[in-house]
Amino acid sequence: MAKGNEKQSIDASTEEKIKEAARVVFTRKGFVSTKVRDIAAEADINLALVNYYFRSKQKLFDLIMIETIEKLFSEIKVIITDESTSLNTKIELIVDHYIDQLLNNPDFPLFIVNEILSGSNKFPAFLKNAEMIKGSFFFKQLNQLNSDKKLEVNPIHILVNIIGLIIFPFLGRRVLEKAAGLEEEAFRSLMEERKKLIPIWIGKIIES
Amino acid sequence: MAKGNEKQSIDASTEEKIKEAARVVFTRKGFVSTKVRDIAAEADINLALVNYYFRSKQKLFDLIMIETIEKLFSEIKVIITDESTSLNTKIELIVDHYIDQLLNNPDFPLFIVNEILSGSNKFPAFLKNAEMIKGSFFFKQLNQLNSDKKLEVNPIHILVNIIGLIIFPFLGRRVLEKAAGLEEEAFRSLMEERKKLIPIWIGKIIES
DNA sequence: AATTGTTTTAAACAGTTGTTTAATAAATTT
DNA sequence: AAATTTATTAAACAACTGTTTAAAACAATT
Stronger pLDDT, B180 or B205, i.e. the higher one: B205
Spell out the SS3 assignment of A148-176.
Answer: CCCCCCCHHHHHHHHHHHHHHHHHCHHHH
* Separation of alpha carbons A46 and A158, rounded Å: 49
Rg (CA), chain B: 20
* Separation of alpha carbons A99 and A188, rounded Å: 10
Per residue in A48-72, pLDDT (tens digit) is 999 999 999 999 999 999 999 899 8
* Separation of alpha carbons B60 and B53, rounded Å: 9
Cα dihedral: B166, B167, B168, B174 (round 10): 120
Nucleotide nearest to A58 (CA to C1'): C18
Identify the residue among A73, A123, A171, A173 best suited for mutation to test binding to B, counting B beta carbons within 10 A and taking the highest: A171
Beta-carbon separation of B178 and A127 below 8 A = yes
**Alpha carbon B152 to its chain's center:** 30
Nucleotide nearest to B55 (CA to C1'): D19
Tens of pLDDT along chain A (208 residues) come to: 333 333 333 346 999 999 999 999 999 999 999 999 999 999 999 999 999 999 999 999 999 999 998 998 999 999 999 999 999 999 999 999 999 999 999 989 988 887 877 777 666 777 788 889 889 999 999 999 888 776 688 999 999 999 999 999 999 888 888 777 888 899 999 999 999 999 999 999 998 6
CB nearest to B32's CB, from A33, A175, A197? A33
Query: CB of A36 under 7 A from strand C?
Result: yes
The distance (Å) linking the CA of A60 with the C1' of D1 is 40
The distance (Å) linking the CA of A63 with the C1' of D2 is 40
Q: What positions of strand D are covered by protein, i.e. any atom < 7 Å from a CB? A: 6-12, 16-22, 28-29
Residue B50 sits at the vertex; the CA angle it makes with B46 and B52, to the nearest 5 degrees, is: 100
End-to-end CA distance of chain B: 61
Under 8 Å between Cβ of B164 and A169: yes
Query: CB of B36 under 7 A from strand C?
Result: no
Count A/B contacts: CB-CB distance under 8 Å.
Answer: 138
Beta-carbon separation of A118 and B33 below 8 A = yes
Interacting residues of A205 by C-beta distance below 8 A, sequence separation 6+: A158, A161, B201, B204, B205
Average pLDDT over every residue of B82-105? 96
